Structure 1
């Protein structure tokens, strides 16, 4: 079950919710949707179809689906994806223990942020079930409780950016670290990279997440040779302003071109 075929090509947000048991409680999920997000799914909705193991429906210009699959995803696929999430303790073993899953998704819609938000609400409603382990998205495997916590930011009118954008790391020679995004293309934005940095992983991660949030929330792009001034907290807990140069070039960690965020060191 490869989720990457449609990733970033069309307005499609999909995921697989991994379950410990082979139990599908559609009514519980729909109740969660109504109680947590005010989304009432019923037979009067456009495109509504329900079977023993699935439901489809439309909300405005977005088509949604929840399908129960009574089988496992191949271990080698889960192992690869779960191993990428450095924040999911025992993620590989826990994901390999799943016995079934829900395939969920939102297709279409003129506004990709709106489509991604609806997908996050549906995923949250599914992951509330007692037998959920994690959600496998096209770019990451996220622990159920972690995804739910991040989804709660929607209630405060914030984007659940950590559910949408993955930050990866590559260790380089000379003890430097490179960081990169995966997920920006789903919002028609260029992926970003920070190359050969001596800074801490958490600093690089927060910087890219904050930039991703700004670009997606404001539906904007960075310009070639633009100078960014970002406010960050240094190792001593002080607020500092740092300058960065924007460069577009061939991806070092990825495909095609990416935005390089280069820190400018003042002499």
Structure 2
């Protein structure tokens, strides 16, 4: 299947360039704002529209700082030790989802602490728009022709400009489908159910880890790292713990919600 030869630059006005990749994140930000505002109103969460904007601002800062530091420390530390000024050159690429996710968690925790809000309840609301951003990001990767898949002979394989004359899996589309469309559909369905606080948050963590681990089976590893051991990639090493952590959160929150104390009913001996 021929790779559609996209121009990564959508619009050029003198020295100013508007890239599809950047536009994807701008669109994702606005969609996340309106979706999160609707969810806050629907679930009667004590946060006004300015508070939603502030939350997304915290999250954006967490994504940028966490994602960049995660990439620098995990994916290319030796290079950045030799070129420390390039750490600030985020426009050259190099972001880690796992680092960005940790950055968002820290930013969200600080936001909740500052405003005296329940973290898990807010996290359940905030994870719903995340797959939209993941979908847009993966589509941006596809348009840029980056983060392509491994060599294959499946009928829908593509030759990517930066991948040489080799037919490869369009792994960006696989990940966009799993981490974006499928994950959003599951979270949206569950968000309409009455669940203990933290379950939706844990479900997101666990399912993202699962889908990313599957996607890594088709994705070409980063050239500076390659395979860590056998067929295992760095993305899988970072994602498998997410599956375990997510499952632990879901199990714990369901267990706690069923306890007599959590439900406001003390056993006779405790009254």
Shorter-chain TM range is 0.3 to 0.5
Tell me which protein shows more helix as a share of its residues. Answer: 2
Q: How does the TM-score come out when normalised to structure 2?
A: 0.32
Tell me which protein shows more strand as a share of its residues. Answer: 1
Q: Rg bigger for which structure?
A: 2
Q: How does the TM-score come out when normalised to structure 1?
A: 0.33
